[in-house]
Amino acid sequence: MRTRTLGFGLVVALAALAAPPLEALARQAAAKPAAAAGGVEVRLNTYLVQYLPFDPGTKVTVEKSSERLPGFQGYKIKRTGKYAKLNVDKTVYVSDDGKWFFDGETVANPNPAPVRSDADLAWIDARTSALYRTRAKATLAPNQDAAGLKAVVLAIETGLGPMRVPGYVTPDGTRYFSGSLWEFQTDPREERKKRIDLSQNRFEGKPNGAITMVEYADMECGYCRYRGLQMDQLLEANPNLSYKRYYKFFPLWFSHVWSMRAASAADCIFRFAKAPAMFAFKKQVYQQQAVMTVAGIDDLAVTFAEASGIPRADFLACYLRDESLADVRKDLDEGQRLGVKSTPTYFIDGTEISWIEDKVMEDYLRTRDASLKGIEYPKP
């Protein structure tokens, strides 16, 4: 099982090699005149091929639904492909003006009232606080209003500072939209690239690598260990693959007791000893994951830092301090804006890879390099 993350919902099982490749499907759909072939439904078909996690042989069907949200029309979508575990059968929404796409969840306010100030969001605070047993505070973000909705930033206390989750509320206060709005007329892969900050250069691989991989993971997550080590093997088996592999901190703080500490330690190690040391630290954590404790991660962090040439005092001045934790929370916030729902989640050049089928990562990378060599996938 993949590990669930924050949000108001559950992990969505998403949807397959025999049919034309993903890019060809997108070009074919884009070539059809929208006005002559069903308007929003045709555009939505094209959009979903680009938006949904990669599955070779993807086929998407779209049907207008009777479901509506304020200012949005629902569409029933089905996606099939090579892998049944990646199939999709759900409802998504497009704004009435055709500018926005929404794939999150909504919550109805039992006692709606017009939203004029942060005080009118108290019901969101109460619900979230009860859900995660921690403090939560929703505030209006008027500079981000869109689609006739009022933008909301929901700060959820992790115990080591707040994580921020995007959302929207209807002006009459009847419904809260949990998640991001996406520009419906824009290629979602390009929009993802804009939302991902790579300026820290926290990567391994070739500085001019042709393929940009971004991995959102938690070092306390068993499935992250399983897939992360397989990614290591896959890349080692293909030394000629031109890539840059970025690591993003996405600790599941609400259920994993030492995940934030591991992320903070990795950030500090990166600051002083750069990416190779950070990736080596991650591997050591994975090796000890099954028996790791809070005290154990503290000891490993200090020992590894000193072995990497980082003075103990310098490391301790960084570990679990504001600057380091801010980096971790920044990655968490970014993942929320991207709609990360489980760990690990991969984005490769803007395409989401939901690695719940062993071969799907190989399938995608072969679209970029046909000479890719596969590996064996033992059961976790």
C-alpha torsion 47→203→299→327, nearest 10: -60
In this predicted structure, what is the pLDDT of residue 378? 80
Positions of the chain with pLDDT under 70: 1-38, 379-380
Whole-number Å distance between alpha carbons of 334 and 324? 16
Contact 245, 232 (CB under 8 A): no
* pLDDT score for 38: 61
Give the C-alpha separation, 312 to 305, whole Å: 7
Percent composition of the chain: helix, strand, coil (DSSP 3-state, to 5): 40, 25, 40
Contact 50, 79 (CB under 8 A): no
Query: Which pLDDT belongs to residue 274?
Result: 97
Rounded Cα distance, 60 and 62, in Å: 7
**Domains in the chain, ordered, with CATH?**
3-102 (no CATH), 106-178 (no CATH), 193-368 (3.40.30.10)
Whole-model pTM: value is: 0.89
Angle between helix 222-236 and helix 259-288 axes, rounded to 10 deg: 60
pLDDT tens figures, 64-120: 999 999 999 999 999 999 999 999 999 999 999 999 999 999 999 999 999 999 999
Give the closest residue to 278 by CA, choosing from 326, 219, 344, 198: 219
Distance (Å, rounded) from C-alpha 280 to C-alpha 259?
Answer: 17
285, containing H or E segment: helix 259-288
**Cα–Cα distance, 218 to 228 (Å, whole number):** 10
